[in-house]
Amino acid sequence: MSTKIVIAGGFGAGKTTLVSSVSEIPAVTTEAVMTEASVDYDDTSATPRKVTTTVAMDFGRITVDRQLIMYMFGTPGQARFWFMWDDLVRGAVGAVVVVDCRRLAESFDAVDYFETNRRIPYIVALNKFDGRLEYSVDQVREALEVSDDVPIIDFDARDRSSGGMVLKTLLRYALATNAAATPVG
């Protein structure tokens, strides 16, 4: 059996890094070199070494066990590519919204997408840049106006084990949410 999940979030939050760090196959990315055209659109002040950006999607795969394969689809973070989100999300059992706490405003639109589109369970994953977070989970929940039932966890997108915990949290939450929504009888 296979399942699809989406890795979403703002520009430079760590989506491609998460997919790449946990995928058992070499991640398929659509990274393109950032050009002069992106200067007015992409704020790289918090990520000055960032020279590429996802222009379509990232793709990775994890074999959870002998019976379950998980396919990960990473969304592009910039607003000019959001027209692809509905297609990337179609058929997903859940989503992870990756947040860079140094730039919370970059996450508002991704959180709003899943809060508005409640048919897809999602969790929020706070990426620890430089090994720390700028805000507590409670402060982030309040700032992003995330529902109390949505799990928020911290992680390091570069670390396979840490990224794996994010995906396990999402799967547990999606299973519980989808089971609760399924009518009995």
State which CATH number among 3.90.1580.10, 3.40.50.280, 3.40.50.300, 3.40.50.10860 fits the domain covering 2-181: 3.40.50.300
Res 23: pLDDT: 95
Res 51: pLDDT: 54
Res 148: pLDDT: 92
Summarize the chain as % helix, strand, coil (round to 5): 35, 25, 35
Res 106: pLDDT: 87
Q: Distance from CA of residue 11 to its chain's centroid?
A: 11
Residue 181's Cβ-count burial label (10 Å; 0-12, 13-18, 19+) is exposed
Res 99: pLDDT: 96
Q: What span, in angstroms and rounded, lies between the C-alpha atoms of 51 and 64?
A: 33
Q: Where are the alpha helices (DSSP H) in the chain?
A: 15-22, 85-89, 108-116, 137-144, 160-181
Return all residues near 174 (Cβ < 8 A) that are at least 6 apart: 5, 93, 94, 121
- Whole-model pTM? 0.84
Res 34: pLDDT: 55
Res 56: pLDDT: 57
Res 91: pLDDT: 92
**Per-residue pLDDT tens listing for the chain (185 residues):** 889 999 999 888 899 999 999 999 998 776 666 556 555 555 555 565 655 565 557 899 999 888 889 999 998 866 666 667 788 889 999 999 999 998 888 899 899 999 887 689 999 999 998 888 889 999 999 999 998 999 999 999 999 999 999 999 999 999 898 776 665 55
Return all residues near 30 (Cβ < 8 A) that are at least 6 apart: 54, 55, 56, 57, 58, 76
Res 132: pLDDT: 84
Phi-psi region of 173 (alpha: psi -120 to 50; beta: other; left: phi over 0): alpha
Res 69: pLDDT: 93
For the chain, domain boundaries: 2-181
Res 6: pLDDT: 94
